[in-house]
Structure 1
Amino acid sequence: DGTVRPLELSADGQFLLAEVQPDGLEPAVTLIDLGTGDSFAIAQANLAQGVALANFGRSVLWGDQAPTNSRLFVDRFEHQCDVVGAERSATDELIVCSNGRTLGHFGDTAAGSASWQAPRGAVDLLATDTGWYVADTDGYVMAHGNAGEVSAIGGAQLAQPIVAFIGDPTESQTWQVAADGGVFAFGLTQYYGSTGDIALNQPIVTAMATPDLDGYWLVASDGGVFSFGSAQFHGSTGAIRLDSPITAAVPTDTGDGYWLIAEDGGVFTFGDATFVGSAAGTLGTGERVVDAGQLPPGQSGYWLVTNTGRFIDFSA
């Protein structure tokens, strides 16, 4: 009959149609798909039957109803985000979760609705003034907001998963980097080399583009740094026994140095990069640094972001 009814989560984890309220009115709700951000409505379903999930494992839930266990479930999904990357400007912050969900605001576009669910997990984020891009381990790159489409390696048979997406999409210059150091260039970018045919001591975990976009650095979890194109080698922690693996790296504005950041918040400086503090010994239980960047223009220093979405600033 076309009636739209909300869903609720039963005690045994099944999705059921929500009961009509005592006053006979339907709860005011919005149906959301936690996988893709699309809205769904279920009509002519039997209250006694569990509601099947949509294709590709997408979970259909509802929000904004009277307090129930299902509201708590939605809250847990929205706030229990395993952050894998972040972008930041003078006024905006944007984070991406491992399931591809983006939260925050950047430029002219706000994030916060349930977002695209990466096939094997999101790994990196690039933002522009009009939108942002989420890259996943399979090589797919999804554009959000008003960001234009970009080419990507998605769909190809990869020897190792993608771990980084770097460059400048607005200039049609981007690279995808795999854990074995394989580099895939798209748009107007040049391929300057890779470690794909080198036996690495530890896998590549992140990468940095040079400010002029004429080169890049690949960084391994032991802090080994591999430079290509115009990128210059300024040092590494490859020969140092680290307490925690490297998870993030940030180039200086000049390209004459960089910061390497460990999972425990330790910061290592090379070239003209200046040390202004670290988060080592200050993180909470289970908290780890997953990304980093320079403070916005006009400020000197850097920020770290943890898997909980907490930003930690260090300024000169």
Structure 2
Amino acid sequence: MTLLAKPTLALLALLGGLALTSGPGTEPTPTISDTRIPLVTGDGVDIPGASLAAAEAAGGDSAIGYWVLDRDGTIEAFGDAPAFPAVKGVALDLESAAGGGAWILTDDGVVHALGGATHFGNVDMSVLGAGEKPSSISGVPDGTGYWVFTDRGRVLRFGSAGFFGDLVQLGISDRLVGPVIDAVATATGNGYLMLGSDGGVFVFGDGQFRGSVPEIIPLSGLAAPLVGLVPDHDGVGYWLFAADGGIFSFAADFLGSVPGVLPPGAHLDEPVSGAIPYGSGYLLVATDGGVFNFSDRPFSGSAVGSRPSPDIISVAAYRPGGAVLPPAGLPPVISSDPAPIEGLWINREEILALPMSGPAWQKLVEVADEDPGQADISDQDSNHDIKVLAMAYVAVRTGDDHLRDQVEQELLEVIGTDENANRSCDWTPNIARSLAIGRNLVSYIIAADLIGLRPDDDPTSSGAQFASWVDDVRQKPNCPHTGSGSFPDGDWFNLSQFHDWSASNVSTMAGASRIAAALYLGDESEVEAAWETFQRYAGDLSVGPDLKINDKALTWSSQPDRPVAVNPAGAVVDGHNVDGAIINDIARGGEFAWPPEYTQYPWEGLAGFYVQAELLQRAGYPAWEAGDEAGRRAIKFLERLADEFGDQWWDHTDWAKYLANDVYGLDLPINGPASKGKNMAWTDWTHPGT
């Protein structure tokens, strides 16, 4: 249902959430008097027995040095950290990268890569909601990607960074008490934690909730807002930092605070604006450049007085080595490949967590109660497949064994309908059209997977019969959709061959059923081959077979000498933005023109592509990331056409919009329920997104 795994939200602290016991060492918010003194800087607090060797053994980095970042983009270096030039724009956050570099996030969504850091992309500001802004950046531990977080808790991932859920996907981003002001990755890169300005903590992936400020202090009792969250060096707990230098420790050793080193009754001249893990402790920076060091590493200087009117907003530690290793006992840093998830499209546990109320559920039940009609996979316009899928969803969610048996019977009645003489090609009897098989087979297979109808050792069992038929159908040659000359040399292709041959919508539908069948039957080599073809379609010319792209489609390509099915990021033709255009299918309306001639076929191609993506993603392939998020770019292109040229470009395939919102955290407008589609449906219930 998501890019990598279903998100785990350990606490909705800002909304009441779970009542968990906070970690040890929580410091009460200091009482601040009216007495003001100049900012104090210095070595902070010595930690008895701590050493650089101990920090390294715990997975830390022994380098000494840090940078502080001014809002105007100026970055100052201390200790061993190298100097970097200022960046343009209003700076929001600074993050160190493995290899000695750093990333700076500016308010226009641009990520500036400095030194040895790699640039993986900028924020597409058009995906953000009204008034929503980027707020922080956190890097993958090995430096191969990063996440950008917004003030509403949206997560945007780049490079190898995985998606583990966010507050927008959970539907609570507009109900926060305070904005999300900081976020950090876990030591493994398999999750992240977000901090609200009132001290609420949100945990996703393998992050562990250890407590939050609202559990121990009401919002009205905070002397200063929270400004940062820092994980401790062993990856178990974390510290929360307030603007007055107060520190809240949760399952982490309390090592001191700014009020604790100030004279009685005194407070800071300027507020704390940033904090980072440093050695075996932490390091804080104030807006005038003052640095407070509570670690085993030496104090390397501050920015106080280095420039007029500073406005320091962030600090980052110098990391000259490779990846920061996670502490002993934690999983390794993940690769770019997501972990496989049980269930081809969705599994029983996920279904049991879905609601049994609301319009989406009511429509599902209504359809499940109807007669699904005649089973006929050779009918390319049949809705029998998605009706049987609705029956399977309701049977699993309600535990209705009678309905489950009905689903099994409907699936058995599909067997042999691919040879329906009334639906076969005009010139060849008893061979179904490739489009019909591609559209219809996938939902039948998903329904079988949901009710547990799978191959077994008894060849006479229902599962064995259905699986044998699926294996037969996927290997049978299908006749072309139109005319005997559609395939070269008069050959007729099976699902796999058609998927590997063309970049048309018929081929994307064939690919979806090809992948579903291979996964259902456990054919790993076939899944791997389909993944290569999927990547080729998404834009990777280094893998997969050459896909047939017609001459009209080439006029829509920004690189006609090396075309790809989904135009690459930033594609322009005749000065017009065609990023994400599915060129073979938009060319069904004619050669390139602006405005384009309307055609619904890009939605047909997208439908097959989206089902492939979700099936592959759950099988452990990073399909939703492929081609610079080709799936997101393709649907955003259609949204742009609708905005500019009319709703006819958008009134189609609503189930895909629900899926895009769920997967990419988008907020696409949707006209109605996701009840019917050519090859999929019901995502308003299974993948509700935002």
Give the TM-score taking structure 2 as reference length: 0.30
Q: How does 1:59-74 map to 2 (within 5 A)?
A: none
Alpha-carbon distance between aligned partners in 2 of 1:86 and 1:290, rounded to the nearest angstrom: 8
Instruction: Tell me how far 1:101 sits from its aligned partner.
Output: 1.9
Q: Does the CA-based 8 Å contact 2:139-2:185 persist in structure 1?
A: no
CA 1:146–1:106: 2 relative to 1, 3 Å: farther
2:91 corresponds in structure 1 to: 83
Count of residue pairs the alignment pairs up: 215
Counterparts of 2:295 and 2:114 in 1: how far apart (Å)?
A: 33
- Quick one: distance in 1 between partners of 2:116 and 2:301? 29
CA RMSD of superposed structures (Å): 2.3
**1:209 and 2:270 matched:** no
Paired residue for 2:135? 123
Are 2:101 and 2:319, in contact at CA under 8 Å, matched by a contact in 1?
no
Relative contact order (alpha carbons < 8 A, sep ≥ 6): 1 or 2 greater? 2
- How far off is 1:262 after superposition? 0.4
Q: Go from structure 1 to structure 2 and tell me whether the alpha carbon gap of 1:234 and 1:279 turns closer, same or farther (over 3 Å shift).
A: same
Which of 302, 314, 337 lines up with 1:291 in the alignment?
314
Q: Note if contact 1:167-1:213 (Cα within 8 Å) is conserved in structure 2.
A: no
CA-to-partner distance for each residue in 1:8-53, whole Å, 9 max, x for gaps? xxxxxxxxxxxxxxxxxxxxxxxxxxxxxxxxxxxxxxxxxxxxxx
Instruction: Using the TM superposition, give the Cα deviation of residue 107 of structure 1 relative to its aligned residue in structure 2, in angstroms.
Output: 7.0
- The answer on whether the counterparts of 1:81 and 1:98 sit within 8 Å (CA) in structure 2 is yes
Unaligned runs of 5+ in 2: 1-86, 322-690
Deviates most, 87-96 or 210-219: 87-96
Matched residue type, 1:84: L
Q: 1:196 to 1:296 in 2, by over 3 A?
A: same
Instruction: Name the larger-Rg structure.
Output: 2
Q: Report what 1:258 is aligned to.
A: 282
For residues 1-316 of structure 1, the aligned pairs below 5 Å read 80-89=88-97, 90-104=99-113, 109-111=118-120, 115-117=123-125, 118-119=128-129, 120-128=132-140, 129-154=143-168, 155-156=171-172, 157-168=175-186, 170-197=188-215, 198=217, 199-229=221-251, 231-238=252-259, 240=262, 241-254=267-280, 257-285=281-309, 287-297=310-320
Q: Distance in 1 between matches of 2:241 and 2:117?
A: 32
Alignment CA distance shift 1:169-1:101 (3 Å): farther
Gaps of 5+ in 1: 1-78, 299-316
Structure having the larger proportion of residues in strand: 1
Residues 74-99 of structure 1, C-alpha deviation per residue, up to 9 Å, x if partnerless?
xxxxx641111122333433110123
SS at match of 1:232: coil
The residue aligned with 2:396 is: none
Offset of residue 290 of structure 1:
1.4
Deviations 1:229-274 (A, max 9, x none): 1x111111236411111011122232xx221110110011224242
Residues 182 and 194 in structure 2, CA contact (< 8 A), matched pair in contact too: yes
CA distance in 2, matches of 1:114, 1:293: 20
Amino-acid identity (%): 33
2:201 and 2:166 map into 1 onto residues whose CA distance is 11
* Greater share of residues in helix: 2
Q: Secondary structure at the match of 2:213?
A: coil
Instruction: Tell me if structure 2 keeps the 8 A contact 1:96–1:124.
Output: yes
- Alpha-carbon separation, structure 2, partners of 1:160 and 1:233: 26
Retained in 1: the 8 A contact 2:91–2:107?
A: yes
